[in-house]
Structure formats: structure tokens, C-alpha cells
Structure 1
Amino acid sequence: MVTFFEASLDTISVHHMGNPTQNEMYALSDYPLELKDELMPKLLMQYFLTPFEKTNEVYHLMHSSGDLELNEIHHFVSRVFEDKSKFHEASELIAKYLYKVSNHPKIKSGELYIAYFKKVQIEGNQLDAIGIFKSENKETYLKVYPQQGGFGLDYEENAININKLDKGVLIFNIEKENGYKVVVVDKTNGAHDAAVYWKDEFLQLKIRNDNFNQTNNTLGVYKNFVTQKLDDEFEMSKADKIDLLNRSMKYFKEKDTFDMDEFTGEVIGNPDAIASFKTFKNQYEQEFDTPIADSFEISANAVKKQARVYKSVLKLDKNFHIYIHGNKELIEKGFDDDKAMNYYKVYFKEEA
């Protein structure tokens, strides 16, 4: 999705972010960072841009009122794209705004980097981009060096691992009227309120409803329907649920285009269950304001992503795991009265 073979780091400013709820202040630098050698820009490019090579979701900046001009980040980056001499001033305003919305006690302090890149590629276009990155987690590193015919050992505390970007966003200078093209990284773990502030409070993002997200959302909604809703209305075994998940994944892997009626007919089959699924989908669309089309081109990347979380494992106590990949008619469930235990009978032709 994002590549940077020809990209260059033009300007970067660094500030420190505290947490206002912990009575920690922020510290702003007076001028952009001066990069004194050729290696530092390369290391920073690796740190900032490499995590975006695997991103597929594209977002837009938005505002809950519907007025994009009220999105602070949109306003700040627009000023820079129009006049790059305002870069450092805008970086200070971005830092102050992030501090303002960092209003959860579990949000960690750290360094904030605002960078201006040239020739970063997204979806075939080489564009200028503004990156905003925050480092929150520090590590200790050992350093080994030659010393008097042998080696010495030292360490450095509170150092940054350039292979682990905590938070980052790239805002590309295209589609300004739609909220720009935006890709985001957020490795936060912890309290929900602390986790959502980067995307929801600070950036105010809305995911672009393209084929990737149509595919991803449909598979996600269907998985939730099978695992959470079907039990309320139908009596189904776990093996039957796994079969429904496997059939849906098979459909998405084999088809080029999704068709709602075709999918529900081939995968679900039961008219009552089909009606229940469509109701479940409509509720999702209304709750998250995310329409899912009845027909769209299937994204192979989205299918690959969802395949990682589609479970086809039947866990039996702590003794056995049965992986179900194909015909569910080859597995039967029963109950042994003498042992007072459930059992599964599995049919196969040969052992691998």
C-alpha cells in the first residue's frame, strides 16, 4: 500500500509530550531538528515508514459535525501543504493539540515527531506527506565495544527501538476536500479510553469505504453473526458453526465479486438464518454508520487478513483439538451413556 523507495525526509521537528492528568507538561523545541549526517535520515525513515508497508486501510480526516474545516489536524496540515515555511509553527500547534486531548491517566508520555516527506507512494501516486509519530515505550540496550585487547560492555537506558513504532500517521497531499488520504499505525495496548485517543480524539478518522473495507467488514460482520448471534435463534453445534465460517471463507477465496443473495444462498442456505443475518448486518450499518454494499469486488488482502482470525479449531477439554477444514458430514457428535461424556466420531481414508 505504502512504499518509499524514492522518498526523502525533508524536515522534522521533535517535541516532548506529557500527560496533563498526571500534571506533566509538554516541551516544545524552538526550531526543526538538524540532521548532521547521512545515516540519521535513513534510520528515521526506517523507523517511521517501514510499519506502513503492511497497512491496507485508508482513512480520511473528518469531523463529527460534518464540517471538515473544524478538524484541527486537517487545518494544520493544510497550512503546511500550502506554505512549507509554516512547518515548524504547525508542528508546535499539533503538539499542543495532542496534549489537549491526552486526557486519560494511562496515556504515556513520550516524544512527538512531526516530519515532512517527499515522494512517498500510495496507490500508485508519489506525493508529499506529513507524518506525525509518537514514541511511548523505551528499552534498554547493551553496547559491546573493543577495549584494551578485549571488549567492554555498557548499556543505554530509555532508548528507542527503531523497529517498534508505537503510534504514527501519514497524511498525503491528495483529496484535501475528502479529508486527505491517511494511513495510521497504533500499537497501543491497555485501557480502551487510552487506546482510542490517537485515532478518535486526536486525528478524528473515518475509514474509507473501498473494496478492502467492504470485504473486511462483511467477513467481520458474518463472523460475529455466526459466533455471537446464531445461538440466540438456532440450535447449532460448534462444528456446524465452524462449517459456516469455512464455507464463507471458501466463497471469498474463490469468487472475484461478492453478491449478497448469492453468498447467503450458497453459504447460509436456511431462509430464516438468511433473514436473521441481513437484520444483523443492517444493525451493524446503522450502529457504526458504515454501509455494506450488496455487491462489490472482493479484496484478496482483506480476505487474507480475516483468514487469520477465522477459527476452524474445535477444542475438546484440554485433551484434543480438532481442525475442521472441509466436509462437516465426516464428523459426528454423540453422547456415551456409560462414560457420561460427549464424543466426536471422525471419518477419514488415510493418515498423513
Structure 2
Amino acid sequence: MIFALEAALDQLAIHRIGNPLQDERYVLSDSTIALTDELLPRLLMQYFLSPYEKVNEVYRFYHPSDDLNLNEVYHFAKKIFEDQSTFLENSRQLAKQLYEVSNHPKIKSGELYVAYFNNVQIEGELMDAIGLFKSETKETYLKVFPEKEGFGLSYEEEAININKLDKGCLIFNTESEEGYKVAVIDQTNRNQEAQYWKDDFLKLRVRNDNYNQTANVLGVYKQFVTEKLDEEFEMSKADKIDLLNRSMKYFKEKDNFDMDEFGQEVIGNEQGIASFLNYKKSYEDEFETPIPDSFEISDAAVKKQARVYKSVLKLDKNFHIYIHGNKDLIEKGFDDGKAMNFYKVYFKEEA
């Protein structure tokens, strides 16, 4: 968890990043922003840091060659941490690097804010952090003000909504040899071209802690049930929903995950267990993300995954059946007279 109650904004530089494929250039500042106004730093802190209150994932910088110094953002951030007097020059280098990777025609131009913070809390520790933030979305605001015997009305175009951070990255000055602790936000990451922020510019990979281990197992198991099982077994959608419900129940009730226990209690079929283990191994190999056979379960990861675990059986456009409990109380059949499938549901009383 990340908290900014004791945080302070120490330095700030702003640069303009265009899109090279649109014949746009970058514009670099020659000085940092003077933070003399009392209100402005508070507004900036809200804009930069408040979105991180709900961020749990922690990433690390990496490079395919395993030489971290070849990761440009890591390299320039490390220089700033080692000598804060180099902040402005290295912020300019970071801006140039972002411009170099903005090579998709749909990437929007915008401002890059490079900030230096003191006393940002992550995982219970206060430490310095470097923030990289890009604003891409501009809005129009109305302004109402007293005038004569009533009010006047005007507007501000191309303004920034401080409650909508487009892209952000916080680099914490800890564990530098492992790639630092890094938290990232990408609110516009809806299309492939938007991946440039995390993948091309920052070059991040998820830290393999209990939060990500929990999320990975739940995510891989969900994909296995919804996409893979049909290739090897004949299963109704109700059976699949039951398997998903049982896995979520396991993670909500247990403090620690154990792969053997999970297989027996949730899947309950030796052939199905073997199939899941093979599927998990393929995921680990493809994404280079090992999942241990046992780890402490993260409640935060379970809550997040529970939002995307579906327990709804959709029947044409007429009915939705929510299956939360005993799957044996629902039966599927076929009516020859109507030439239609049906479900029979058993219950004791209506709510």
C-alpha cells in the first residue's frame, strides 16, 4: 500500500513530449518549477499521488540482457537518487527517452512531469521517490465569478483535471540492485499503442510477491477453467461456475496456498489436476513468471480478482442464473417437446 500523508514535493520539472510520427518535437525546460505558492503543491500532490492509494502491485525495472543499467529509466533515476543536484538534467534525459519510444501514430502528445518526493510511504516504510507523470487528456472548464450586480461566466480550454491522472510511475529509493520498487498507473491503457508507457518506456515486470502470486494463480486458474477445460473434458457452464466458486471460496477461507491441497479440494479430479499443472507450467514458461507451490494468500489480491470472477449463467436473452452455492441443486435437461434445453433449480424458500 502507498500513502502520501507525510509526503512533500521537493522538486518538479515539466517537459513537452510530442509524437515523432506526427512531426511533433519535444520541448525541454531549462529550469525546475518554483513551488512558492501554498496551494499549488497541494493540488499537484493530489493530482500525482492520490491515485496510488488503491494500487497494490509492485513492479521492478528490468532489461532483457539482465543488465539493469541498460534500462534507461532505471539508469537516469539512479543518477538522481545518487546526486539530487542532477535532477533537472536527468529529467531532460527521461523526457528524450519517452519521446524516442512514442513511435505509434495514435500516441497522444502531452506534458511529462518529473517530480522528486520526500517521505512517501510504501509497505510501511517512508522513503524518497521519483515520480514520472504524463498528461494526455485535456478538458474544458467553466469559471463563474462575481461581476457587477451578478455573475460573469468564462471558460478554460485545454485544462487538466487533477482527479484524472493519465499515466504515472513512482520509483522508490529502495532495493536498487533488484530494480527498485516501482508502482505504475496507466488509465489510458486500452489499446496496444498505449502499452508503450509500461513496456517500452519503463520496461517493468511484476515483483513476484504474495500479492502477485495470489493474483497469478487465480488468473491462471480462471483462464484454465473458461478456456482450456473444454478441450479435454465435457463440462456444462454450471460446472465451470462451480469450479470458479470453489476456488474463490478456497482463497477466501485459507491463510496460505498449497498447490496439492488446492488440487484436491477445488478440482478434485486427478486428470483435471494434471491438466491444470501443465497449463500453469505453460504460463510460467511463456511469461517467465514462476508460481511457487505454496505462499501466503494476499487478501487484497483476492478482493480484486473476485470482481472479475463470474458466477452468472446466461440463458439466451431471457434469464440470468446466479450460482453461489451447491451446484448439485441445479440440473440441466432437454425438453423434446419444446426442443429446448432447460435447468431445474431446487430451493426451500424464496427471499
Whether TM-score is above 0.5 comes out as yes
The secondary structure found in structure 2 opposite 1:64 is coil
Q: CA deviation at 1:190?
A: 3.9
Q: Which residue of 2 aligns with 1:206?
A: 205
Instruction: Give, as a single letter, the amino acid of the residue that structure 1 aligns with 2:194.
Output: A
Distance across 1 between alignment mates of 2:176 and 2:327: 51
Q: Which residue of 1 aligns with 2:23?
A: 23
Distance across 1 between alignment mates of 2:330 and 2:156: 57
Please list every run of 5 or more consecutive structure 2 residues that lacks an aligned counterpart in the other structure.
Answer: none
Instruction: Give, as a single letter, the amino acid of the residue that structure 1 aligns with 2:120.
Output: V
Q: CA deviation at 1:335?
A: 1.2
Q: Which residue of 2 aligns with 1:345?
A: 344
Q: Which residue of 2 aligns with 1:233?
A: 232
Residues 320-331 of structure 1 aligned to structure 2 (within 5 Å) = 320-331=319-330
Deviations 1:149-189 (A, max 9, x none): 22222111111110010000000111110111110001124
Distance across 1 between alignment mates of 2:301 and 2:189: 23
Q: Which residue of 2 aligns with 1:9?
A: 9
Deviations 1:228-269 (A, max 9, x none): 000000000000000000000000000001000100101001
The secondary structure found in structure 1 opposite 2:324 is coil
Residues 297-308 of structure 1 aligned to structure 2 (within 5 Å) = 297-308=296-307
Q: Which residue of 2 aligns with 1:176?
A: 176
The secondary structure found in structure 1 opposite 2:337 is coil
Distance across 2 between alignment mates of 1:69 and 1:155: 47
Instruction: Give, as a single letter, the amino acid of the residue that structure 1 aligns with 2:283.
Output: Y
The secondary structure found in structure 2 opposite 1:290 is coil
Instruction: Give, as a single letter, the amino acid of the residue that structure 1 aligns with 2:153.
Output: L
Distance across 1 between alignment mates of 2:194 and 2:254: 36
Distance across 2 between alignment mates of 1:86 and 1:79: 7
Q: CA deviation at 1:140?
A: 1.0
Q: Residue 191 in 1 paired to residue 178 in 2?
A: no
Q: Which residue of 1 aligns with 2:220?
A: 221
Deviations 1:129-166 (A, max 9, x none): 00000000111111111222222221111111100100
The answer (yes or no) to whether the contact 1:334–1:344 under 8 Å persists in 2 is: yes
Q: CA deviation at 1:73?
A: 0.9
Q: Which segment drifts farther, 143-152 or 176-185?
A: 143-152
The answer (yes or no) to whether the contact 1:15–1:95 under 8 Å persists in 2 is: yes
Distance across 1 between alignment mates of 2:330 and 2:46: 50
Q: Residue 115 in 1 paired to residue 115 in 2?
A: yes
Q: Which residue of 2 aligns with 1:258?
A: 257
The answer (yes or no) to whether the contact 2:189–2:195 under 8 Å persists in 1 is: no
The answer (yes or no) to whether the contact 1:166–1:186 under 8 Å persists in 2 is: yes
Residues 13-52 of structure 1 aligned to structure 2 (within 5 Å) = 13-52=13-52
Distance across 2 between alignment mates of 1:310 and 1:124: 30
Q: CA deviation at 1:218?
A: 0.3
Distance across 2 between alignment mates of 1:158 and 1:319: 46
Q: Which residue of 1 aligns with 2:309?
A: 310
Distance across 2 between alignment mates of 1:189 and 1:7: 27
The secondary structure found in structure 2 opposite 1:218 is helix
The secondary structure found in structure 1 opposite 2:279 is helix
Identical columns (%): 71
The secondary structure found in structure 2 opposite 1:345 is strand
Deviations 1:101-150 (A, max 9, x none): 11111111001000000000101111010000000011111111122222
What value does the CA root-mean-square deviation take over the aligned residues?
0.8
Instruction: Give, as a single letter, the amino acid of the residue that structure 2 aligns with 1:216.
Output: A
Q: Which residue of 1 aligns with 2:76?
A: 76
Q: CA deviation at 1:88?
A: 0.4
Distance across 1 between alignment mates of 2:64 and 2:227: 30
Deviations 1:51-75 (A, max 9, x none): 1111111111111100011111111
Q: Residue 138 in 1 paired to residue 162 in 2?
A: no
Q: CA deviation at 1:350?
A: 0.9
Instruction: Give, as a single letter, the amino acid of the residue that structure 1 aligns with 2:55.
Output: T
Q: TM-score, normalised by structure 2?
A: 0.99
Q: Which segment drifts farther, 332-341 or 39-48?
A: 332-341
Please list every run of 5 or more consecutive structure 1 residues that lacks an aligned counterpart in the other structure.
Answer: none
The answer (yes or no) to whether the contact 1:106–1:191 under 8 Å persists in 2 is: no
Deviations 1:193-249 (A, max 9, x none): x12111111011111000000000000000000000000000000000000000000
The secondary structure found in structure 1 opposite 2:199 is helix
Instruction: Give, as a single letter, the amino acid of the residue that structure 2 aligns with 1:76.
Output: F
Give structure 1 regions of 4+ aligned residues with deviation exceeding 3 angstroms: none
Q: CA deviation at 1:93?
A: 0.3
The secondary structure found in structure 1 opposite 2:133 is strand
Distance across 2 between alignment mates of 1:60 and 1:270: 38
Deviations 1:262-289 (A, max 9, x none): 0010100111111100000000000000
The answer (yes or no) to whether the contact 1:242–1:324 under 8 Å persists in 2 is: yes
1:189 to 1:171, Cα distance in 2 relative to 1, 3 A: closer
Distance across 2 between alignment mates of 1:329 and 1:153: 65
Q: TM-score, normalised by structure 1?
A: 0.98
Q: CA deviation at 1:36?
A: 3.3
1:162 to 1:57, Cα distance in 2 relative to 1, 3 A: same
Q: CA deviation at 1:10?
A: 0.3
